[in-house]
Amino acid sequence: MSQNVLITGGTSGIGLSLAQSFVELGASVVVCGRSQAALDRFAQAHPQALAVRADVTNAADRAALLQAVADRFGRLDVLVNNAGTFEERDYAAGKNPNATLDDEVALNLTAPIHLTGEVLEGWPSPDAIVFITSGFALVSPTRAPTHGAVKAGLHGFADGLRRQLAPKGTHVLEVLPPSTDTPMNAEATGKKLTPAQVAAVTMKALRRRRNMAFPGQTKAMPAMLRIAPGTLRRVVAEL
């Protein structure tokens, strides 16, 4: 049976690569985003898919999005919480660092929690729920401490949710990519994975029903946290 898949932020970066991967497998794909131009490009490239304009931080938009899924496909099998942002904040600079903080927390943390709960109200036993967090969920970046905080919060939510949904057979996967070559990281320097590389690791982890997936450089993080946490934090401090 073909899966019905919803991917937030699915018109660019990791979300787009995941959408393309699912389409290639024959899944029925729904993506959402805030840019109508990007949604139009996606719909033109994938006419069999559904592209919905929605701000996932807005309750009414989330409700309309899930209604569109129900109207088009009847059910949802896989939810991919991918939409997010990266904000640098310097609390040592003597300026107000909290501009746009509420927006950052809403998009990166509370929106995926809200959407997950709303999906489970409509479809209590989906096949899988995926959270795209970050290696920074385990070690917070010096230049963006609130990013580390919200990703750590989502990491904790995924961990507890996994145990709650295990009796239902729902696979909860957390993906912790390193810096990836997406529009969000366009100005970042240093080594970056491609969105396609992150998508490939994610799809493999879904097939193998892993709890967590560590693409690229983040693969070493769990071991380093156990045996050399100071070294890992010094490395992250330079990012």
- The residues spanned by each domain of the chain are 4-237
Please report the pLDDT score of residue 187 as a whole number.
57
**pLDDT surpasses 90 at 175:** yes
Q: What percent of the chain has pLDDT over 90?
A: 82
State the Cα–Cα distance between residues 102 and 106, nearest whole angstrom. 6
Q: Decide if 132 contacts 180 (C-beta within 8 A).
A: no
* Residue of 70, 67, 151 whose CA lies nearest to 107: 151
State the Cα–Cα distance between residues 30 and 5, nearest whole angstrom. 6
Report the pLDDT averaged over residues 24-36.
97
* Residue of 18, 8, 1, 9 whose CA lies nearest to 198: 18
By the 10 Å C-beta count (0-12 exposed, 13-18 middle, 19+ buried), 164 is classed as exposed
State the Cα–Cα distance between residues 9 and 31, nearest whole angstrom. 7
**pLDDT surpasses 70 at 186:** no
Please report the pLDDT score of residue 153 as a whole number.
98
Report residue 182's pLDDT band, with 50, 70 and 90 as the boundaries: low
Lowest-confidence range among 8-22, 83-97, 136-150, 173-187?
Answer: 173-187
Report residue 239's pLDDT band, with 50, 70 and 90 as the boundaries: low
Superfamily classification of domain 4-237: NAD(P)-binding Rossmann-like Domain (3.40.50.720)
Please report the pLDDT score of residue 220 as a whole number.
78
Please report the pLDDT score of residue 232 as a whole number.
77
The whole-chain average pLDDT of the chain stands at 93
Please report the pLDDT score of residue 231 as a whole number.
84
**Tokens at residue 120, please?**
């489970």
Q: Decide if 22 contacts 29 (C-beta within 8 A).
A: yes
Q: Decide if 17 contacts 23 (C-beta within 8 A).
A: no
Lowest-confidence range among 5-14, 151-160, 224-233?
Answer: 224-233
- What sign results for the dihedral spanned by CA atoms 126, 156, 29, 23? negative
Report residue 189's pLDDT band, with 50, 70 and 90 as the boundaries: low
**pLDDT surpasses 90 at 195:** yes
Please report the pLDDT score of residue 217 as a whole number.
84
Give how far Cα 102 sits from Cα of 107, 150, 157, 192, Å.
Answer: 9, 11, 19, 28
- pTM of the predicted model as reported, rounded to 2 decimal places: 0.93
Which strands sit side by side in the sheet containing 171-175, from one edge to the other?
A: 50-53, 28-33, 4-8, 78-81, 128-132, 171-175, 212-213
